[in-house]
């Protein structure tokens, strides 16, 4: 019999997890505090699965109809979690809302069910501190859109039992995601810490009048980005010299001295923020944001196909 996954919260991320788990043959039970949200989510999942099937982008070996049959909605939290291998919490990123949802979940969940949170920013030790099931709590942070961007950051709290992240990693690999396991929690996890370093330097270059908003974005989209879609920063360096030690011999001193000149962390606010907004608006008017997001997702879809081929 197929194992069951409970999903708490049927918004954007809850729906994506439901599709990913069903694509690998898990039974999925979707719960939301707003029952009509679940009905809407099921309709949207059906539409998306059919579209993916038509465009030959459906993940897994099962048809859209078979995958859809694995996903059900429920208005009972108890039913959502009963006997589940894992419950993936996908409630809004508001600490009080998440803590309340986790307390309610904690009251009905039984060992050995794993409680996994999709949080992008909250520390696992804080989210789980008062839970009686806290030894089986972990963060599994996806990247949007998870159907095409496969990274999942697994972050344990200090009280998480060692087998939990190991099991979640195995589960994520089993559904075709690419997990990375942090050995301990750190603010921002890994992806956002790296993203913030990039954002800070991009901001400095615009504020210091070095590059315009559209030119600095090209440094990523036409320079670093294409390379990093296939290789990490360390392998890129390794290939750019005769191995890492040779790279360090050649470039470590320069990297250190340029980094020393970068100055304090900028604040993304005030006049600087207004100027960046104005320049971006000229290129992509606010009323075109949705259209641009769709274009981004279409590009990511094609990239995901290419990454699978190479």
Q: Which stretch binds ligand NAD (CB under 6 A): 12-20, 202-210, 218-226, 249-257?
A: 12-20
Sheet with 137-142: strands ordered across? 71-74, 27-31, 4-8, 86-89, 114-117, 137-142, 151-156, 178-181
The distance of closest approach from Cβ of residue 69 to ligand NAD in the complex, given in angstroms and rounded to an integer, is 23
Choice between 6 and 206, CB closer to ligand NAD: 6
Q: Counting contacts by CB under 6 A, is residue 142 touching ligand NAD?
A: yes
Q: Counting contacts by CB under 6 A, is residue 34 touching ligand NAD?
A: yes
Q: Counting contacts by CB under 6 A, is residue 92 touching ligand NAD?
A: yes
Which positions from 36 through 75 interact with ligand NAD, judged by CB under 6 A?
Answer: 37
Q: Counting contacts by CB under 6 A, is residue 33 touching ligand NAD?
A: yes
Q: Counting contacts by CB under 6 A, is residue 32 touching ligand NAD?
A: yes
- Retrieve residue 268's tokens: 């993304």
The distance of closest approach from Cβ of residue 252 to ligand NAD in the complex, given in angstroms and rounded to an integer, is 34
Residue located via tokens 């995601």: 177
Question: 120: burial class by Cβ within 10 Å (0-12, 13-18, 19+)?
Answer: middle
The distance of closest approach from Cβ of residue 218 to ligand NAD in the complex, given in angstroms and rounded to an integer, is 24
Q: Counting contacts by CB under 6 A, is residue 13 touching ligand NAD?
A: yes
Residues 6+ apart with CB under 8 A from 119: 89, 93, 98, 127, 139, 141
Q: Is 39 left (phi over 0), alpha (psi -120 to 50) or beta?
A: alpha
Choice between 125 and 144, CB closer to ligand NAD: 144
Q: Counting contacts by CB under 6 A, is residue 138 touching ligand NAD?
A: no
Residue 151 near residue 178, CB atoms below 8 Å:
yes
Residue 29 near residue 4, CB atoms below 8 Å:
yes
Check whether the bond before 85 is cis (ω within 30° of 0): no
Choice between 32 and 67, CB closer to ligand NAD: 32
* 134 three-class SS: helix
Q: How many other CB atoms are there within 10 angstroms of residue 184's CB atom? A: 11
Q: Counting contacts by CB under 6 A, is residue 90 touching ligand NAD?
A: yes
Q: What string marks each residue from 93 to 122 as x (binds ligand NAD by CB under 6 A) or -?
A: x---x--xx----------------xxx--
Interface residue with ligand NAD among 72, 125, 135, 144 (CB under 6 A) is 144
Interface residue with ligand NAD among 11, 25, 60, 176 (CB under 6 A) is 11
Residues near ligand NAD (CB under 6 A) are 8-14, 31-34, 37, 90-93, 97, 100-101, 118-120, 141-142, 144
């Amino acid at each position: 019999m197929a194992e069951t996954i409970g999903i708490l919260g049927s918004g954007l991320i809850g729906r994506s997890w439901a599709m990913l788990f069903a694509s690998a043959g898990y039974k999925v039970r979707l719960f939301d505090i707003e029952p009509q949200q679940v009905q809407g989510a099921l309709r949207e999942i059906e539409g998306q699965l059919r579209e993916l099937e038509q465009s030959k982008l459906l993940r897994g070996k099962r048809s859209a109809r078979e995958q859809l049959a694995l996903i059900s909605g429920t208005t009972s939290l108890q039913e959502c979690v009963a006997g589940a291998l894992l419950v993936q919490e996908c409630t809004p990123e508001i600490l009080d809302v998440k803590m309340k949802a986790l307390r309610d979940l904690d009251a009905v969940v039984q060992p050995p069910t794993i409680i996994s949170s999709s949080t992008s920013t909250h520390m696992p030790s804080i989210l789980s501190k008062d839970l009686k099931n806290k030894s089986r709590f972990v963060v599994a942070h996806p990247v949007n859109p998870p159907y095409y961007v496969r990274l999942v950051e697994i972050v344990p709290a200090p009280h998480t039992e060692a087998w939990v992240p190991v099991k979640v990693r195995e589960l994520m690999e089993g559904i075709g995601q690419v997990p990375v396991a942090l050995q301990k929690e750190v603010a921002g996890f890994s992806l956002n810490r790296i993203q913030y370093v990039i954002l800070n330097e991009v901001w400095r270059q615009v504020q210091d009048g070095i590059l315009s908003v559209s030119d600095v974005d090209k440094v990523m989209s036409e320079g670093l980005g294409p390379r990093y879609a296939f290789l990490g920063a360390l392998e890129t360096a390794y290939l750019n010299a005769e191995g890492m030690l040779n790279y360090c011999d050649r470039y470590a001193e320069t990297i250190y001295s340029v980094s020393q000149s970068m100055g304090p962390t900028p604040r993304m606010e005030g006049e600087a923020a207004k100027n960046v907004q104005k320049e971006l608006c000229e290129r992509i008017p606010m009323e075109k944001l949705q259209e641009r997001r769709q274009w981004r997702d279409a590009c990511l879809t094609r990239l995901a196909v290419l990454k699978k081929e190479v």
